[in-house]
């Protein structure tokens, strides 16, 4: 007879959820990054708008959007549960704590980084997603544009005129990069995928990936703000 209380109630099960949702969110980032990178065609948004149109109308993508939100919420809720658990596990803190001696600061600050990312996410969703999904403000493309409507591309150009917004976006991407630098390899460890031969490569790849994808994301508002992409 097993004493197993149920996979999802166990500490490892909870971590498993974090890992799986985390990896899933990473795949979303890749798609998102790919589509947005279309702005770098620098063709006045034509290619990008087609991409945005596809993402906005394809039913598979629309269905995945629901899964995506579920994933984000699960990732956040589980993180909160784990954090509360962990608080309880050390009711009295240390007087002197030298975490730097044994771990990276960002691996110990996933909650803080995650919170920053969440705050950014709210701003970001308000900037674009709410507008495109719940208002008529966004037109599908230049040709069918109704009066008062903008394409997604132009909306971006407009939003990123504000230097404060650009700064927020760039800082958010820095947070995301650190979050991923730990999160990427951590997810593999949680899923039990640790191998003396491959893990060093996974770790290296994870760090390069985290930095590159965040640089690409951050370069978008910067490029638009400074008119490198028009």
Partner 1 sequence: MAGTSEKTINVNVKVWRQKNKNEKGGFETHDMKGVSVDMSFLEMFDVLNERLINEGKDPVAFDHDCREGICGMCSMYINGRPHGPKQGVTTCQLHMRSFKDGDTIVVEPWRSAAFPVIKDLAVDRSAFDRVIAAGGFVSVNTGNAKDANNILIPKDDADEAFNAAACIGCGACVAACKNGSAMLFVSAKVSQLALLPQGKVEAQQRVLDMVHHMDMEGFGNCTNTGACEAECPKEISLENIARMNREFLFANANEKK
Binding residues vs partner 1 (CB under 8 A): 2-5, 7, 10-16, 82, 85-86, 88-99, 101-104, 107-108, 110, 182, 185-186, 189-194, 196
The rounded Cα 160 to chain-centroid distance in angstroms is 19
How far apart CA 64 and CA 193 sit, in angstroms, is 26
Q: Are 124 and 72 in contact (CB under 8 A)?
A: no
Q: Are 140 and 113 in contact (CB under 8 A)?
A: no
Q: How far is the CB of 213 from partner 1 (least distance, A)?
A: 20
If the CB atoms of residues 181 and 229 are measured against partner 1, the closer one turns out to be: 181
If the CB atoms of residues 59 and 94 are measured against partner 1, the closer one turns out to be: 94
If the CB atoms of residues 4 and 135 are measured against partner 1, the closer one turns out to be: 4
If the CB atoms of residues 20 and 168 are measured against partner 1, the closer one turns out to be: 20
If the CB atoms of residues 16 and 178 are measured against partner 1, the closer one turns out to be: 16
Q: DSSP labels for 169-216?
A: HHHHHHHHHHHHHHHHHHHHHHTT---TTTHHHHHHHHHHHHHHHHHH
Q: How far is the CB of 211 from partner 1 (least distance, A)?
A: 19
If the CB atoms of residues 108 and 127 are measured against partner 1, the closer one turns out to be: 108
* Residue 156: φ, ψ to 5°: -60, -50
For residue 38, count other CB atoms closer than 10 A to its CB: 18
How far apart CA 44 and CA 47 sit, in angstroms, is 8
How far apart CA 14 and CA 226 sit, in angstroms, is 44
Q: How far is the CB of 179 from partner 1 (least distance, A)?
A: 12
Q: How far is the CB of 57 from partner 1 (least distance, A)?
A: 38
Q: How far is the CB of 1 from partner 1 (least distance, A)?
A: 9
How far apart CA 183 and CA 166 sit, in angstroms, is 25
Q: How far is the CB of 87 from partner 1 (least distance, A)?
A: 8
């Amino acid at each position: 007879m097993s004493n197993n209380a149920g996979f999802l109630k166990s500490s490892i099960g909870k971590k498993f959820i974090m890992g799986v949702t985390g990896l899933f969110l990473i795949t979303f980032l890749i798609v998102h990054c790919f589509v947005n990178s279309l702005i770098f065609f620098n063709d006045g948004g034509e290619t990008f708008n087609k991409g945005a149109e596809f993402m906005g109308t394809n039913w598979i993508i629309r269905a995945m959007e629901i899964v995506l939100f579920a994933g984000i919420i699960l990732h956040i809720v589980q993180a909160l549960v784990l954090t509360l658990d962990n608080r309880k596990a050390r009711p009295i803190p240390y007087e002197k704590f030298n975490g730097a001696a044994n771990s990276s600061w960002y691996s110990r600050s996933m909650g803080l980084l995650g919170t920053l990312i969440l705050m950014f996410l709210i701003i970001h969703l308000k900037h674009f997603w709410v507008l495109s999904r719940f208002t008529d403000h966004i037109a599908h493309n230049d040709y069918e544009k109704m009066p008062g409507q903008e394409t997604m591309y132009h909306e971006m150009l407009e939003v990123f005129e504000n230097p404060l917004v650009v700064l927020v976006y760039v800082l958010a991407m820095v947070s995301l990069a650190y979050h991923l630098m730990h999160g990427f390899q951590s997810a593999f460890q949680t899923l039990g995928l640790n191998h003396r031969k491959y893990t060093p490569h996974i770790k290296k790849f994870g760090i390069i990936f985290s930095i590159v994808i965040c640089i690409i994301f951050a370069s978008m508002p910067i490029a638009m703000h400074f008119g490198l992409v028009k």
